[in-house]
């Protein structure tokens, strides 16, 4: 069994999606609140753009297909040559979704030596009575000796729209439900699978897909929310329920079962992110 320090060391190291050029991210704020404000000044959520009075061109909207932080940084420099710590107007921000806010935040924290990881699941604070597809960051709070969920996406504009009533820098676990918990709730009959998803895409298959994305993120491979591979599906029929039961159990106890998570990811080619994934938004195979 790996020690807690070995586990935290793993999440200090950047992965394929969170690697950046040396010394680019280390100088950003170390206070988590200030860091989230900085990230919010660099990125614009694709679906919240109208709230900032932005009509996105197809070229600008296409930035939501970016996977690695290195490419996000390149686009940021194209839009605005100002230092990263300086907030840009919405028209000069890189367009993304919750995953981009999360992955960029994780990349900065790792660059600063803070253990951090992306978590994929569902938030209860967007649509009453539903759990919407969402990503947040989870970082190790050394003073409190615990993992803390932080939503780097929700700024003052979105707070006003959503009327959030909790600390977004310490998101309660019942407000953001990691995918393994969502799967377990459905399997136990305590929640209807149709509550989980986004837009008209809902059901057990959606929970399962997010569960595999969360499993990959725990292995430092943070994919797009619409990337498909391996046992992922687009309908409930034929889901490998025992496999996802196992993934749920592992990801719900990610530190104690970290060794199993790493071994299974390396050993099972169905679960490992392959060299090419299916991009369900663009309806094509994409190289990773």
Express each pLDDT in 113-143 by its tens digit: 999 999 999 999 999 999 999 999 999 999 9
Task: Report the 10 Å Cβ neighbour count for 222.
Answer: 30
Query: Residue 181 phi/psi, 5° resolution?
Result: -70, -40
Query: Residue 238 phi/psi, 5° resolution?
Result: 85, 5
Averaged pLDDT score across all residues of the chain: 97
pLDDT value at 42 more than 80:
yes
**150 vs 169: CA distance, rounded Å:** 4
* Strand-pair category, 146-150 with 227-228: unpaired
Question: Which pLDDT score, from 0 to 100, does residue 213 have?
Answer: 98
Question: Which pLDDT score, from 0 to 100, does residue 237 have?
Answer: 94
Beta strands in the chain (DSSP E): 43-45, 94-96, 116-123, 131-141, 146-150, 176-178, 196-198, 201-202, 227-228, 276-279, 284-287
Task: Report the 10 Å Cβ neighbour count for 37.
Answer: 16
The residues near 36 (Cβ < 8 Å, ≥ 6 apart) are: 105, 150, 151, 152, 168, 169
**239 vs 186: CA distance, rounded Å:** 13
Question: Which pLDDT score, from 0 to 100, does residue 217 have?
Answer: 98
pLDDT value at 222 more than 80:
yes
Question: Which pLDDT score, from 0 to 100, does residue 37 have?
Answer: 98
Residues counted in the chain: 288
Exposed/middle/buried for residue 10 (C-beta within 10 Å: 0-12, 13-18, 19+): middle
| Of 198 and 23, more confident | 198
User: 21: pLDDT confidence band, cut at 50, 70 and 90?
Assistant: confident
Query: Residue 182 phi/psi, 5° resolution?
Result: -60, -45
Q: Is the pTM of this model over 0.95?
A: yes
**194 vs 84: CA distance, rounded Å:** 40
User: 194: pLDDT confidence band, cut at 50, 70 and 90?
Assistant: very high
Q: What is the mean pLDDT of residues 44-58?
A: 98
DSSP for residue 166: S
Express each pLDDT in 240-255 by its tens digit: 999 999 999 999 999 9
Q: What is the mean pLDDT of residues 25-53?
A: 97
pLDDT value at 1 more than 80:
no
Q: What is the mean pLDDT of residues 226-234?
A: 97
Question: Which pLDDT score, from 0 to 100, does residue 23 have?
Answer: 87
Q: What is the mean pLDDT of residues 41-45?
A: 98
Q: What is the mean pLDDT of residues 196-207?
A: 98
Closest C-alpha among 39, 149, 29, 23 to residue 104: 39
């Amino acid at each position: 069994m790996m020690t807690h320090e070995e586990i935290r060391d793993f999440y200090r190291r950047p992965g394929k999606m969170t690697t950046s050029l040396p010394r680019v991210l280390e100088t950003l704020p170390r206070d988590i609140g200030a860091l989230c404000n900085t990230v919010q000044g660099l990125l614009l959520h694709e679906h919240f753009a109208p709230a900032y009075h932005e009509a996105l061109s197809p070229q600008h909207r296409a930035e939501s297909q970016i996977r690695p932080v290195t490419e996000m940084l390149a686009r940021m420099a194209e839009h605005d040559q100002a230092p990263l710590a300086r907030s840009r107007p919405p028209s000069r921000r890189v367009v993304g979704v919750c995953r981009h806010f999360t992955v960029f935040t994780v990349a900065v924290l790792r660059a600063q030596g803070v253990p951090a990881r992306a978590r994929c699941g569902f938030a209860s604070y967007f649509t009453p009575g539903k759990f919407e597809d969402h990503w947040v960051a989870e970082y190790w709070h050394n003073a409190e000796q615990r993992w803390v969920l932080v939503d780097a996406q929700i700024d003052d504009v979105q707070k006003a729209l959503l009327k959030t009533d909790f600390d977004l820098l310490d998101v309660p676990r019942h407000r953001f439900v990691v995918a393994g918990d969502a799967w377990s709730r459905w399997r136990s009959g305590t929640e209807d699978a149709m509550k989980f998803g986004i837009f008209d895409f809902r059901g057990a298959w959606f929970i399962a897909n997010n569960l595999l994305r969360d499993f990959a993120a725990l292995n430092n491979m943070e994919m797009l929310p619409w990337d498909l591979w391996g046992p992922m599906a687009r309908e409930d029929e034929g889901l490998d329920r025992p496999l996802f039961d196992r993934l749920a159990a592992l990801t719900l106890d990610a530190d104690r079962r970290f060794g199993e998570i790493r071994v299974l990811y390396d050993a099972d080619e169905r679960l490992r992110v392959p060299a090419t994934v299916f991009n369900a938004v663009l309806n094509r195979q994409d190289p990773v």
